[in-house]
C-alpha cells in the first residue's frame, strides 16, 4: 500500500539543502518483517519505505510511506518463532501479498522519483538495527534479479546507534518513548509502523545536531571539500555512477 505521491516537488531551497545535507544521498527509512534471521534462506514477508523530507529551513520530517506484503519466495524458510512475534500468516487468503520482485520494483520506483525531486544521486537506508534490513533487502534484490537498486550497497544510518548515543537507549520502543514520540506496543513488529517510528527518530536526532552539522559543513568548505552549491551539484548527470567510482575500496 502506497500513500499518494505528491504532485508538487519540494521547494528548491529544501531540495538543495537535502542534497547537500547527506552528500548527495537521500535517507529512506526501511523496515522488513521476515520469516527468520537469515537473509539467504528466510522469506521476506513485509517491506515498508518511509521517506525523509526536508523543509526550507533545513528541518527533517517524516514523509510518505510505501509498504507492501510480500509472498514468500519458493523454498523460503518460515520460522514459527518469528511468525509468532510478527503475527503474520503468510498464506492467509485475504493477505494482499505481491511477488518479491514486484514489491521491490514498486518501492524502488517511488524512491527514484524522490531522488529526482531532491536532486540526490542515491538512497541510503535508515533502519533500526539497519544491517538486518539491508541484508534482507540486498538478498531479495539478488534473488529477484532486480537490476536498478537505488540504495547504497553497504552503508546505512542505524537508528539504534544514533539513539544510543543521543538518548541512551538502543531498543526502538524505549528510544521512541524517551524522545517524546508516540509508541503503541500493539502496532510494533509491523513494517509500516516500525519504519515510521524509525524515520521520526532519525529526524529528531538529526534536527538536534543541526548546529554541529552547520559548523562541520563550514569547516569542510574552508578545506575545499565541496562548493557552496554542495556535493550533489558538483557531479551533474551522476544519477547512478559506477559502483567502483562512487564507492572506492577502503584503505
Helix (H, G, I), strand (E, B) or coil at 7: coil
Beta strands in the chain (DSSP E): 25-34, 44-54, 60-70, 97-98, 122-127, 151-158
In angstroms, the CA 133 to CA 153 distance is: 12
β-partners of residue 33 are: 46
Choose among 110, 153, 109, 105: nearest CA to 131: 153
Beta-carbon contacts of residue 213 (< 8 Å; ≥ 6 apart): 21, 206
Catalytic one of 38, 92, 128, 189? 189
The DSSP letter of residue 26 is E
Bridge pairing between strands 44-54 and 60-70: antiparallel
How far is C-alpha 186 from the chain's CA centre?
A: 23
Query: What's the length of the chain?
Result: 251
In angstroms, the CA 69 to CA 87 distance is: 13
Phi and psi torsions of 25, nearest 5°: -100, 145
Beta-carbon contacts of residue 96 (< 8 Å; ≥ 6 apart): 1, 69
Instruction: Specify whether 189 is catalytic.
Output: yes
In angstroms, the CA 124 to CA 204 distance is: 18
Q: Known catalytic residues?
A: 189
Amino acid at each position: 500500500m502506497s500513500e499518494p505521491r505528491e504532485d508538487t516537488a519540494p521547494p528548491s531551497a529544501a531540495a538543495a539543502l537535502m542534497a547537500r545535507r547527506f552528500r548527495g544521498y537521500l535517507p529512506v527509512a526501511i523496515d522488513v518483517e521476515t520469516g527468520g534471521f537469515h537473509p539467504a534462506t528466510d522469506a521476506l514477508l513485509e517491506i515498508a519505505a518511509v521517506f525523509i523530507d526536508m523543509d526550507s529551513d533545513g528541518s527533517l520530517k517524516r514523509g510518505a510511506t510505501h509498504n507492501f506484503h510480500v509472498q514468500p519466495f519458493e523454498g523460503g524458510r518460515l520460522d514459527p518463532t518469528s511468525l509468532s512475534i510478527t503475527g503474520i500468516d503468510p498464506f492467509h487468503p485475504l493477505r494482499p501479498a505481491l511477488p518479491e520482485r514486484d514489491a521491490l520494483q514498486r518501492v524502488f520506483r517511488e524512491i527514484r522519483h524522490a531522488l529526482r525531486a531532491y536532486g540526490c544521486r542515491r538512497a541510503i537506508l535508515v533502519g533500526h538495527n539497519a544491517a538486518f534490513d539491508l541484508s534482507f533487502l540486498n538478498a531479495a534484490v539478488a534473488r529477484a534479479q532486480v537490476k536498478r537498486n537505488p540504495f547504497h550497497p553497504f552503508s546505512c544510518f542505524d537508528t539504534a546507534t544514533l539513539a544510543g548515543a543521543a538518548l541512551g537507549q538502543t531498543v526502538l520502543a524505549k528510544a521512541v518513548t524517551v524522545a517524546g514520540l508516540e509508541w503503541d506496543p500493539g502496532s510494533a513488529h509491523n513494517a509500516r509502523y516500525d519504519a515510521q517510528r524509525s524515520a521520526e527518530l532519525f529526524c529528531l536526532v538529526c534536527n538536534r545536531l543541526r548546529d554541529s552539522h552547520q559548523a562541520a559543513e563550514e569547516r569542510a568548505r574552508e578545506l575545499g571539500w565541496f562548493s557552496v552549491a554542495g556535493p550533489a551539484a558538483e557531479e551533474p548527470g551522476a544519477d547512478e555512477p559506477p559502483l567502483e567510482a562512487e564507492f572506492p575500496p577502503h584503505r
